[in-house]
Amino acid sequence: MLTRLPNWQSALSAYLVESAHTRFAYGVLDCGLFAAGAIAAMTGVDAARALRGQYHSRAEAFAAIRRLCGRPTVEAVAEHLAKSLGVPEVSAACAQRGDPVLLRSGRRSSLGIVAMHGTEILTPCRDGLLRLPLSHATRAWHI
């Protein structure tokens, strides 16, 4: 089970500032690596260690996810990592600051984290971090 470090709020805030203007890029700052970076800032544990450096494109990312957890979906890797790290799932409506969340748009899913004020989700996009209402989360895990 993951435990937040005593300075998790300032560490997460610093990570978000660092990520705010970083463009989306598979293998650099995609939705999974962004969420994993936030988790690492809060806990000191790199949840994406098994995937880091394994891909540089969308196709390579999903091939790496398939190798890791058997299904090539964002939801599958989130479930796999949550289970392996002992991170409990919570209702998306109960997600708190820093908690990773799953977003779904049609057939596509992505990961984000709950922003510091607790009412929005942050997820990487082409020009930096996209802010969405917390109501867009379909699943959540409490760190």
pLDDT digits (tens, 9 = 90+) for 109-122: 999 999 999 999 99
75 part of a folded domain: yes
* SS3 (DSSP) at 25: strand
Residues 6+ apart with CB under 8 A from 23: 29, 126, 127, 128
Q: How far apart are CA 21 and CA 81, in angstroms?
A: 27
1 part of a folded domain: no
- Looking at the structure of the chain, the number of domains it has is 1
Task: Locate 62 and state its tokens.
Answer: 């999903």
Average pLDDT over residues 36-54: 95
User: Residue 92 maps to which CATH number?
Assistant: 3.90.1720
Beta-carbon count within 10 A of 86 CB? 8
2 part of a folded domain: no
Residues 6+ apart with CB under 8 A from 45: 2, 39, 85
Predicted confidence band of residue 127 (pLDDT cuts 50, 70, 90): confident
Give residue 117's domain range. 8-141
Say what the pLDDT of residue 136 is.
95
